[in-house]
Chains A and B, each alone.
Chain A
Amino acid sequence: MFPSDIEFHVAPYISDFVKWITVAWEPFFTAFSNMVLGMLLQIEHILVAIPWWLWIIAVTVIAWRQTHEVVKTIMPGLLLFTVGIFGFWGIAMETLGIVIVSVIISLLLGIPLGIAMAVSDRCNTLVTPILDAMQTMPSFVYLIPALMLFGLGKVPGVVATVIYALPPVVRLTNLGIRQVSSSVQEAALAFGATSWQLMKEVRIPLAMPSILAGINQTTMMALAMVVIASMIGAGGLGEVVLICTNRIDVGGGFEAGWAIVVLAIVIDRLTQGLVRRWDTPGV
């Protein structure tokens, strides 16, 4: 047995710290909360304002342009249709809104961070373990402090989702930039590229397929997390799942679960199509 007399706990300190920061930084977190909420409501407003049939047409058209295959074109629209049939259209849009806001924030933070990690080895060694922690730390551990800081509702849901969904885009941006062929980079330098030009003209464009794969992964993770975030009142499809689970309503749970899967499939296909369109020929 590990000797109990050298046991030491950081738990009280962390609890105290979170309590302190909740009080002392209250204005900051409230302002941040309001900003995110405003953004969220605006996007939700737009999503709901678009009529359901226009959504289905748009998804079908995009799918056709990306695949030019009959089955792959019809499927996404048809799947979306079932979401409406089950009566989840409005709730699904709510979920989509949180996913979109979370992904936007993740990309705004993640892509620059990935670039910084590609440029600086020190930054890379510093940030990598943090990303590992973000991916492996059970989400409930940070759901509670997020709740304390941002109050009940959608905003802590967004924060928790960003924490969970951020790592893939950071990692794949970093990896993509680091993997750009050194002979191409050398040629660019030989013709007098500055390090900024090298990044803008060579490294980022050639890393684009990898960065887009990261965006796709981040989006999928965000969708997965939004469901869990419903436990702290983020609403959306996850809430329906939660309620059905509590009532042991197996059929209702299946319907809501189905709607989540549909969203995932549709978003995945659309963003993967983006990756393929950007894919550099011959690389």
Chain B
Amino acid sequence: MGMQDFNLLEVERLWKVYHKTEKALDLSDPVAIEKAEAAGAVIAVRDVSFKVKRGEVFVIMGLSGSGKSTLIRCLTRLIEPSTGVIRVKGKEVTSMDAEELTAFRRGEAAMVFQHYGLLPHRNVLENVAFGLKLRGLARELRESRAQEALRQVGLAGWEKKYPHQLSGGMQQRVGIARALVQDTDLLLMDEPFSGLDPLIRREMQDELIKLQKEWQKTIIFVTHDLGEALRLGDRMAVMGAGVFVQVGRPQEIVMNPADEYVQRFVQDEQRIAQLLDKGRVSRVRSIEAHASARAGR
């Protein structure tokens, strides 16, 4: 098995049910599930399986309420899955005890959040070094590493500022630096750019593409924005009502949407592509542009 084929993340038959019967529910029994749903159970993630190769950017796209945020939180058990198996580098996350799980979160997976989740009473440098502090690293060591991470995201010189003194885009750079400094192979990004205005969002996407060329991390990227999914994703999954409706390369999904739900997502992109074919639009966001951006990585 070569490095390229190595599955860094494997998810098998993952479920997340929100109901008081969650623990007792037999999820292999469709009748029991139907009954529970009738009794008010909410199934946020429904039998989801996927594999992500090392160095791959896997985008999970869906509307709000589709279960994508729940799914990404299940991967580090910030939300405890009902059933299913999650393996990272072959280690079974779902069977870890509390201590192993803490070690896993400290060393194997780093996360970037939509609402940044920065500590308001700590300055930028301390925020970036926070994960290293939790691991018990000495101050000089963690601060020099945090400094390096800040340099990479273009925030050198901002170490002593507090989060509220920064714009949204810059706060998210701090969030990315905080994840980066953890030096994990797996990077989980939950709508990291959704709260930013379109121009800044675009800039952050470009920067992520650039940085990813260096890092070669395995990224799980959650978004509700198809454009973002097309720009960033090596592969993407369209999620609706807790299930993966379609999984594939972004171009394939735009060309051959599996059903009406996916069709609704991609119709704008298709229209732009058609216009481009007819030569009526010279320079717009398009599948081709995405493709060339991706080829340029």
A187 engages B106 (CB within 8 Å): no
A192 engages B131 (CB within 8 Å): yes
A187 CB, min distance to chain B CBs, angstroms: 3
Which residues does chain A contribute within 8 Å of B133, judged by CB atoms?
201
A244 CB, min distance to chain B CBs, angstroms: 48
Stretch at the interface among B159-167, B231-239, B251-259: B159-167
Stretch at the interface among A2-10, A266-274, A275-283: A275-283
B118 engages A191 (CB within 8 Å): no
B204 CB, min distance to chain A CBs, angstroms: 18
* Interchain CA distance A208-B119 in the complex, whole Å: 13
* Interchain CA distance A47-B111 in the complex, whole Å: 53
Interface residues of A in 197-227 (CB under 8 A from B): 197, 201-202, 205-206, 208
A282 engages B105 (CB within 8 Å): no
B65 at the interface (CB under 8 A from A): no
Per DSSP, are chain A's interface residues mostly helix, strand or loop, or mixed?
Answer: helix
| Given A183-B115, A184-B120; A192-B163 close (CB under 8 Å) | no
Of A187, A197, A205, A282, the contact of B162 (CB 8 Å cutoff)? A282
| Given A191-B182, A283-B120; A186-B78 close (CB under 8 Å) | yes
B158 at the interface (CB under 8 A from A): no
Which residues does chain B contribute within 8 Å of A133, judged by CB atoms?
none
| Given A281-B164, A282-B162; A190-B120 close (CB under 8 Å) | no
Of A183, A197, A201, A282, the contact of B163 (CB 8 Å cutoff)? A282
B134 engages A186 (CB within 8 Å): no
* Interchain CA distance A280-B102 in the complex, whole Å: 28
B121 engages A187 (CB within 8 Å): no
A206 CB, min distance to chain B CBs, angstroms: 6
Which residues does chain A contribute within 8 Å of B78, judged by CB atoms?
186, 189-190
Of A192, A201, A202, the contact of B102 (CB 8 Å cutoff)? A192
A148 at the interface (CB under 8 A from B): no
Which residues does chain A contribute within 8 Å of B162, judged by CB atoms?
281-282
B80-123 near A? 1/0 per residue, CB < 8 Å: 00000000000000000000001111110011010111111100
B76 at the interface (CB under 8 A from A): yes
Which residues does chain B contribute within 8 Å of A187, judged by CB atoms?
111, 113, 116-118
Of A186, A201, A208, A282, the contact of B164 (CB 8 Å cutoff)? A282
A193 at the interface (CB under 8 A from B): yes
A125 at the interface (CB under 8 A from B): no
A189 engages B105 (CB within 8 Å): yes
A165 CB, min distance to chain B CBs, angstroms: 28
Q: Which of B76, B78, B120 has the most CB of A within 10 A?
A: B120
A194 engages B165 (CB within 8 Å): no
Which residues does chain B contribute within 8 Å of A265, judged by CB atoms?
none
| Given A186-B113, A282-B162; A193-B120 close (CB under 8 Å) | no
B58 at the interface (CB under 8 A from A): no
| Given A184-B117, A184-B120, A282-B163; A193-B134 close (CB under 8 Å) | yes
- Show the binding face of B for A, using Cβ within 8 Å: 76, 78, 102-107, 110-111, 113, 115-121, 130-131, 133-135, 162-165, 178, 182
Given contacts A183-B115, A183-B117, A192-B131, 20 further A-B contacts (CB under 8 A): A186-B78, A186-B117, A188-B130, A190-B78, A190-B105, A190-B111, A190-B113, A191-B178, A192-B102, A192-B106, A192-B134, A194-B134, A201-B130, A205-B119, A208-B121, A280-B120, A280-B121, A281-B120, A281-B165, A282-B165
Enumerate 21 A-B pairs (CB-CB under 8 Å) in ascending A order. Answer: A183-B116, A183-B117, A184-B118, A184-B119, A184-B120, A186-B113, A187-B111, A187-B113, A188-B119, A190-B111, A191-B134, A192-B105, A193-B134, A194-B134, A201-B134, A206-B120, A281-B121, A281-B162, A282-B162, A282-B163, A283-B121
Ranked 7 nearest A-B pairs via Cβ = A282-B164, A187-B117, A192-B106, A192-B105, A191-B131, A190-B111, A280-B121
